[in-house]
């Protein structure tokens, strides 16, 4: 049986209630309830940050995934490496698998990763959803470490449904994770506003930087509000700094599912999601001029923008939904 574990802060019960009310995509985060297609007994649980005694006990008697070679039905799965640590220390399973998001970039940048290498080496398997992470992660855990798999992310194509083309042009940018590049984004939108002052510019960001003239910044939005923002957009733009985990992939897929073209920074792994000159346009890291030129090109050619959006929707339906994600994960863990 597969048990999918999330941090208690995620509030999986609240998530399920919001889903039932139509406010969130997926019964479980990331639509992983679709694992039940492969394992009808799959369940979800929460794990808290380990206490001091649990940490000390693990130092004395480390727990690791079974290496007996005998398949076990007791499978624990976490979405990222931080929750994997919680699973290992507070709710271990015979077989343990985790996604890896942040540690590869921290290692590449020479930042402290604590005991994360030890945590990951004690898993049965690791997976990433950015091709750019595969080799760096293999180097990090070592040749004798657990296997590293790659498969693509997916979104709920019913929640983020294809929507009619908007009557007014609007450029939308969503997201504030640690690898977003608000300086380049604002420089991009400043150029767009100078050329096309008639276009509405909306940004949802956690940045404290002052937006340029013509840009409206909105606070955190709900998933339902987000879906409506995508519906109003004619171009979705994302600027990121150099990173391995394909920052912005979620926004790009949600936009594509809605039928909107994407303009974003080209970092390792992004081309598995945004196909240049088919579903969107990609620009070099930190290149506000290129990003702005791409945005202006699509604003000036509605037929092309619509074609990119339609191709994006088709690509999501073909291979980038939460069902595709769950099927790949189930195959990887052998559930």
Tell which wins on pLDDT, 308 or 177: 308
Rounded mean pLDDT, 232-248: 98
| CB-based contact 324:155 (threshold 8 Å) | no
| 29 and 129 together in one domain | yes
| 79 and 121 together in one domain | yes
Q: 18-32, 70-84, 241-255 — which is least confidently predicted?
A: 70-84
| 178 and 298 together in one domain | yes
pLDDT of residue 62: 73
| 59 and 179 together in one domain | no
**Residue 223 covered by a domain:** yes
Q: What is the pTM of this model?
A: 0.94
**Residue 290 covered by a domain:** yes
Residues 295 and 266: their CA atoms lie apart, in Å, by 15
**Residue 164 covered by a domain:** no
**Residue 180 covered by a domain:** yes
| 148 and 6 together in one domain | yes
Q: Which pLDDT band holds residue 176 (cuts at 50, 70, 90)?
A: confident
Selection from 151, 162, 126, 159 nearest residue 141 by Cα: 126
**Residue 120 covered by a domain:** yes
| 86 and 21 together in one domain | yes
pLDDT of residue 265: 99
Q: Please write the tens of the pLDDT for every residue from 181-201.
A: 999 999 999 999 999 999 999
| 144 and 188 together in one domain | no
Exposure string of 65-91, with b = 16+ CB inside 10 Å and e = fewer, is beeeeeeeeebbbbbbbbbbbbbbbbb
pLDDT of residue 159: 98
**Residue 281 covered by a domain:** yes
CATH number at residue 230: 3.40.50.2000
CATH number at residue 92: 3.40.50
Is residue 117 pLDDT above 80, yes or no? yes
pLDDT of residue 27: 97
Rounded mean pLDDT, 91-118: 96
| 282 and 198 together in one domain | yes
Rounded mean pLDDT, 154-178: 97
Q: Which pLDDT band holds residue 16 (cuts at 50, 70, 90)?
A: very high
Look at strands 235-238 and 280-283 and give their pairing: unpaired
pLDDT of residue 200: 99
Rounded mean pLDDT, 267-287: 98
Selection from 261, 269, 241 nearest residue 302 by Cα: 261
| 146 and 212 together in one domain | no
Give me the residues paired with residue 155 across strands: 321
Is residue 329 pLDDT above 90, yes or no? yes
Is residue 115 pLDDT above 80, yes or no? yes
Share of the chain above pLDDT 70, in %: 96
Domain count, the chain: 2
Helices H / strands E in the chain, number of each: 12, 12
Q: Please write the tens of the pLDDT for every residue from 47-68.
A: 998 887 777 677 756 766 655 5
**Residue 314 covered by a domain:** yes
Selection from 178, 193, 188 nearest residue 264 by Cα: 188
Rounded mean pLDDT, 78-83: 98
Is residue 215 pLDDT above 60, yes or no? yes
Rounded mean pLDDT, 16-20: 97
**3-state class percentages of the chain: helix first, strand second, coil last, to nearest 5:** 40, 15, 40
Residues 24 and 234: their CA atoms lie apart, in Å, by 23
| 46 and 112 together in one domain | yes
Q: Which pLDDT band holds residue 14 (cuts at 50, 70, 90)?
A: very high
Give me the residues paired with residue 202 across strands: 172, 216
Q: Which domain holds residue 141?
A: 2-154+321-333
**Residue 161 covered by a domain:** no
| 149 and 56 together in one domain | yes
pLDDT of residue 170: 99
| 86 and 194 together in one domain | no
Q: 52-56, 110-114, 313-317 — which is least confidently predicted?
A: 52-56
């Amino acid at each position: 049986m597969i048990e999918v574990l999330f941090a208690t802060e995620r509030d999986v019960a609240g998530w399920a209630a919001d889903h039932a009310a139509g406010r969130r995509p997926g019964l479980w985060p990331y639509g992983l309830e679709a694992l039940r297609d492969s394992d009808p007994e799959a369940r979800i649980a929460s794990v808290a940050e380990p206490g001091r005694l649990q940490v000390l006990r693990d130092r004395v008697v480390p727990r690791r995934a079974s290496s007996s070679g005998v398949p076990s039905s007791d499978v624990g799965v976490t979405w990222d490496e931080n929750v994997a640590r919680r699973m290992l220390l507070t709710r271990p399973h015979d077989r343990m698998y985790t996604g890896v998001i942040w540690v590869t970039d921290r290692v590449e940048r020479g930042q402290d990763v604590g005991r994360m290498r030890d945590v990951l080496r004690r898993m049965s398997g690791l997976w990433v959803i950015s091709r750019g992470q595969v080799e760096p992660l293999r180097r990090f855990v070592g040749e004798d470490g657990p296997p590293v798999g790659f498969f693509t992310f997916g979104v709920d194509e019913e929640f983020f449904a294809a929507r009619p083309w908007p009557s007014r042009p609007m450029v939308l940018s969503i997201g504030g994770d640690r690898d977003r590049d608000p300086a380049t984004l604002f420089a991009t939108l400043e150029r767009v506003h100078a050329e096309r002052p008639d276009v509405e510019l909306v940004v949802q960001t956690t940045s404290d930087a002052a937006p340029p003239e013509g840009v409206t910044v909105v606070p955190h939005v709900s998933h339902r509000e987000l879906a409506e923002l995508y519906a109003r957009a004619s171009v979705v733009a994302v600027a990121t700094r150099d990173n391995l985990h394909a920052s912005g992939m979620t926004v790009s897929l949600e936009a594509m599912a809605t039928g909107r073209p994407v303009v974003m920074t080209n970092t390792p792994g992004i081309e598995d999601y945004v196909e240049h000159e088919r579903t969107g346009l990609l620009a070099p890291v930190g290149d506000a001029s290129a990003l702005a030129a791409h945005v202006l090109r699509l604003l000036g050619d509605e037929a092309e923008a619509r074609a990119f959006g339609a191709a994006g929707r088709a690509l999501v339906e073909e291979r980038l939904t939460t069902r595709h994600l769950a099927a790949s994960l189930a195959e990887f863990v052998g559930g």
